Structure formats: C-alpha cells, structure tokens
Chains A and B, each alone.
Chain A
Amino acid sequence: MIVRPVAITDLPSLLDLARCAGPGFTSLPANEERLAHRIRWAQRTFAGQVERADADYLFVLEDDDRQVVGISALTGAVGLREPWYNYRVGVTVSAAPELGIQRQIPTLFLNNEMTGQSEICSLFLHPAQRHGHNGRLLSLARLLFVAEFSQLFGEKLIAELRGHADEHGCSPFWDSLGRHFFQKDFAYADQLSGMGNKSFIAELMPRQPLYTCLLTQQAQAVIGRAHPNTEPALRILGAEGFSHKGYIDIFDGGPVIEAPVSNIRCIRDSQSLVLAVGSPDEQAPVWLIHNRRLENCRVTSARGHHNGHSLIVDRLAAKRLQVQPGDTVRAVPLLGQGRQAVAA
C-alpha cells in the first residue's frame, strides 16, 4: 500500500468510493463533475500553483495492484477565504452569594478562532480494506507530509469529527439549534455544507452566545460527542496528540480535535534518514516513511531497521517509495512508544 497525491485517472475509482461512502460523506460527493474539479484542484495544489488559503491536498491509498481503496485530505488553511465558524463551549456564571445562588451555565460562543489552521479531513477507507495498518497509514501519511513541508501549513492541525446522530441520521443538536435559523433538516444543511456553503449557513445563525440549558436534553447530551463511526479515527489521532479543547461543530455539535503541529508525535519524532535496502527481520518495527517529495509524494509503511542515520527496508518498500538506496527519506515508527508491543 502507498499513499500518493490523487491523479485525474483516479476519477472512476473515486466515484466508486464515493458511492460506497454514501451521501452522509459530504466532502466526497458521488458527482463526477465535482469530483473531477476537486482532483484537478488537488493536482494544482501539489504542483504549488495555489495559495495556502485554497490548498487542498487530496491523497489516495493505492494497493500494489494499483487499485485505489481509500482517500484522505489536508487543507492548507481554513477560514482565509470565507469565515470558518465553531462554537467554543464556555461557561457563564450566574451568582448571588447573598442568596446562595451560584450557577454555572455552559454557553456556546461562536468564534473564528481556527482561522489559518490546517484541517485534516475527507478520510474514507473501503470497508474491505479496514484491517492491518491501512487506516493508520492513510491518516498519518498526511501528518508526515506536514512534517516535511511545515511551511505550507498552519501552527495547528484540526479535525472536525462527525457529531452524534440518531439511527435515522437526524442530529439532535441541529434540531435544537441550527434548524430554527435555517429551517431545513440536517441532511440538507450537511449536503449544502459539503458543497462549500457552510459559511453561508453559519451566517444565518445568531452571533451572540447561546446558553446550552435552553437546548433540548438530547442536544445537550451530544455536545462534543463524536459519531460512533469516527471512533477509529479519533483513537488514531488521539494517540498522536490530538485532543478536544472545547470547540465543536456549529451544525451537529461534533468535537473539533486539535494539536499544535510541533506536538504531534509522528511529526515531532520523525527524522530524516538515509534509505538502505536489506532484509529487516520480522521483529523490526513498522515505520511510516515519506519520500520527501511534494508533487511525487509517496508514503508507505514497512518494517525497518534503524541504524544510526540510516533506515534499512526491503526492496519492495523502496520500490513503493520510488527511491534508491542512498536517498533520504522522512520516517517515524508507525506506532508510538508503548504501542509497539501491541502492534507486534
């Protein structure tokens, strides 16, 4: 498996993936024209032809038979072209010590504080491929890419996790809040938002803070709660240092997780090593390896033996990365300390 930039020839595969993901996956619509547009935009991004504000790095996961089985994306910056909104869950205190009243009311503050940060998004892995290291490779490849080209990104990486919804796909948070201002159901808002209209919808919402005690019980219960489907993604990113600092999605109340780039494990611990070809034994740890290129970026995972300034991998891994022995690569153990044993 390798992760590489998307190519226009991937269009049929992406359409298949989009159909497989279903309409809830709004950033990957099963619409040929829109997908083609996104692919071309990503190609221009990797070619360095677009500004950071517009950059959309779209990666695909490809197996050795050149089948595309997953995608993931990384944006240069959110909120620089149109406002990016989140709620921060803060507190308002209502206090009258003389009367023994001290109430802490969780309050939602609309903000644009994530402006300029980079977002990891649009991850989808074909269900048949959800095993081994595939999900981790597809997700973390983006982070290693940021390690190599940090000047192209913000100080933080963020991810908006899908919020909790009921079995019919309805969002109790939306029903209690956004619906009153947009007067449409969540699925429609979500779809429009996937088409890039999120800030328009956000601008229908009140700018002033909202007391959560005025939301329905069901809505209050899902504030900052991720959809169960996002748990694997949350686990992977959590281990890398991402955490929830109280920011949530304004539509479904799902958590926004974030991490300063410099604190993300696989960025912080990654190093530049000289690639050597050999036969690392079965006990050798699995490494996440990037060929350090932008337009011809390749990221893979492979067992590697770390020796001084070099990393010894097998011939297949070098071939996947399109590098020769003696070339430098950026590499980091795929799993953090304490997780190696589990992986082995």
Chain B
Amino acid sequence: MLALRPVQLSDLQQLQQLARDSLVGVTSLPDDTECLREKILDSCASFDADVQSPGGENYFFVLQDLVSGRLVGCSEILASTGCNEPFYSLRNRPFSSASRELNIRHGVPALSLCQDLNGQTLLRGFHIDAERVRTPESELLSRARLMFIAAHPQRFADSVITEIVGFSSEDGQSPFWDAIGQHFFDLPYAEAERLCGLQSRTFLAELMPQYPIYVPMLPPAAQACIGQVHPDGQEAFDILAREGFETNSYVDLFDGGPTLHARIANIRSIAESRMASARQSRQIDARGRYLVSNDHLGNYRAIVAELDVGPEATVPLTPGMLAALNISDGQPIRVVAL
C-alpha cells in the first residue's frame, strides 16, 4: 500500500533521486542536496507553524510504498503566491488595435509579464515514477493536496492555481523559450529551468521582457506552444481538469505552458469530500475506490482504498488502512470517491 505524508529530513537521499528523474520544467524540484534540504526544512516549519491566514508556507508531500519504504512521488502546495517574492506569469490577452477613421477594429494577442496571480494557492512539484503514471496512486498524489486544503482552509487562499509544464522536444528544446527567453538570457531552456530550481524563479522572471510580446510576431512553432501541455504533464493537467480546474489567460513565462485555476468551493475533492468516523473492520464489502485522509496537519496521511461508503456516519477500514492513515478505530477521516 502507498501512503501520502509530509516530507521528513530522512527522505533527503531518496528525494534527490526523484529530482534527478523529474521532468525538466518541474522547477521546484532541483537536483541539489542543499536546495532539497532547505525545501524539506521549510516544509517542516510550514506544517509546524500556527497559521491564521496563508503566507509563504510550502507544504511538501511524498508518496511512499509502505512495504519497501521507497518514495515513488512527491507534490507540493505553496499556501500563497507572491508572499516572499512576486509570482510572475504571462497574461495572454488581445491588444485592441482600432481606428474609427480607418474603420478598423481587431485584436492582436499579446503576452504581458504580470503578477496577476499573486495571492493564490499554488499546486506544484508534482512528480511520480513513470510506471505509476495514470494509476489511482497518481490521483492520490495530486488530489490528497486538495483534501489537505479542505482540512485546513484557513491555511490557504480561496482560489487555487497550478502551472502545467509546457511543450519541449525530446532533446530538451522549447520553441517558446527559444523565441523569447533565449534573447534575454542567452541560456538554453533546460539550463534556465535548472537555474530556476536553484535560484529563485522570480529572480529570473525579473530578467524577462517587461513590455508586451505580440503573438503574431513570434515564429509559428513558438505560437503553437502557447497553452500547450508537455506530454508528460498531461496527466497532472487531466487530474485537475476533472477536479473542476480550468485554463485561463495565463501561461508560463518560460515554456508557455497553461495555468489552471479553480475556486476552492468548486473543486470536486474539496466540495464533495465528507467527514466520517473510521470503524475497524476485518472484512470490507468494497463498492468503490476512495481517497481517504486523516485530516491531520503535521501527521497528515492519505491513501487510496476500496471501501464501502454508505450514508452512515461510519466507514469500515481494515487494520492495514488504519495503520497507513496512522489512526485508530473511531477517529475521523475524510473520504471522497476516486
């Protein structure tokens, strides 16, 4: 069985292996021991903090095989963007070109660097072993974050966003980057993303063009990247799309990948999850697959389980499930259908 839990310092070595395997563009996961150690400590401090309103806290989760102890994935939640540093994205909106005298009126799409997405909760750093892509466990890795938000709403903003990794070719070339970022950095795309992980992303964003970029002036290959999802980012996209997330006018400033957003109240795993009491049971007459969390904070656990969830206030769980959730008989749980 796999369980999701907050990261611990003892995970460092395994985490670095995950970082090495992660897709270029998952910038929050740098292959650098010192950076990872800091990230872990920062996450531990965030879980420990007494938070009344969302700030720069970053909650880092790992997905662990409880039998082997192996980490198979990780994911993060930044409580609020723009707290410690501005959160930059490119806004893709038409520049209205109009002349009454010439009777001309049309819109030219333009990308403008902006901080419009400051102050929102950000899901990021989603990475899972290749062999577990499109399994219930990858749903768990992504959506357990939403159930965590449901458990601790005061720690998060009332809308959630995520940036999906944009298109790059198999040899790591991003046509979007080549058409824009390259001119301002003189660095290959992969190197820029690596620097983003090590340095701050904001630091690099501030080197990006401050004036609008008009889409028709970009080469066709770069235009095609706007809002385009990397094949390996498709699952992250699909999971959240099913949760009610939608694309908007914002794209990633390095690779042009889309941004998804949703109001907390409209997110399925939040709106449709419900509380129940765990009841230990040897035998479960399973009627469906569910995500189950213990609703805790620093001791947060979430699993996928085949359950018999009815209208009653209690839900039967096996001893193994209770152990995985680190709870005992009679304690509250949060469940939502997979």
Residues of A whose CB lies within 8 Å of any CB of B are 92, 94-96, 98-99, 101, 103, 105, 107, 176-177, 180-183, 192, 197, 200-201, 203-206, 208-211, 213-215
Q: Is the interface of A mostly helix, strand, loop or mixed?
A: mixed
Q: Count contacts on B: residues with CB < 8 A to the other chain.
A: 32
Q: A101-B207, A203-B99 are in contact. Are A180 and B183 (CB under 8 A)?
A: no
Judge if B284 is at the interface, Cβ distance under 8 Å: no
- Nearest residue in A to B180 (C-beta to C-beta)? A214
Minimum CB–CB distance from A271 to chain B (whole Å) comes to: 47
Contacts of B97 in A (CB 8 A): 181-182, 204-206
A211 B183 Cβ-Cβ under 8 A: yes
B217 A181 Cβ-Cβ under 8 A: no
Q: Once the chains are docked, how many angstroms separate the CA of A271 from the CA of B82?
A: 68
Smallest CB-CB A-B distances: 9 pairs: A213-B183, A94-B184, A180-B216, A204-B97, A200-B101, A181-B97, A208-B211, A94-B207, A209-B211
Judge if B212 is at the interface, Cβ distance under 8 Å: yes
Contacts of B101 in A (CB 8 A): 197, 200
Minimum CB–CB distance from A253 to chain B (whole Å) comes to: 14
- Nearest residue in B to A211 (C-beta to C-beta)? B209
What are 16 A-B pairs with beta-carbon distances under 8 A? Answer: A94-B185, A103-B183, A103-B184, A176-B217, A182-B97, A182-B104, A183-B104, A200-B102, A201-B102, A204-B97, A206-B214, A208-B211, A209-B211, A211-B209, A211-B211, A214-B218
Contact among B187, B213, B217 for A101, CB-based, below 8 A: B187
A208 B212 Cβ-Cβ under 8 A: yes
Contacts of A96 in B (CB 8 A): 203-204, 207
Judge if B267 is at the interface, Cβ distance under 8 Å: no
Contact among A176, A180, A192, A205 for B102, CB-based, below 8 A: A192
Q: Once the chains are docked, how many angstroms separate the CA of A99 from the CA of B203?
A: 11
B184 A105 Cβ-Cβ under 8 A: yes
B195 A99 Cβ-Cβ under 8 A: yes
Judge if B41 is at the interface, Cβ distance under 8 Å: no
B95 A206 Cβ-Cβ under 8 A: yes
A181 B207 Cβ-Cβ under 8 A: no
Q: Once the chains are docked, how many angstroms separate the CA of A208 from the CA of B97?
A: 13
- Nearest residue in B to A102 (C-beta to C-beta)? B186
Q: When each residue 210-240 of chain B gets 1 if its CB lies under 8 Å from chain A and 0 otherwise, what string results?
A: 1111101110000000000000000000000
Q: A183-B104, A204-B104 are in contact. List 5 more A-B contacts (CB 8 A).
A: A92-B209, A99-B187, A180-B216, A200-B102, A214-B183
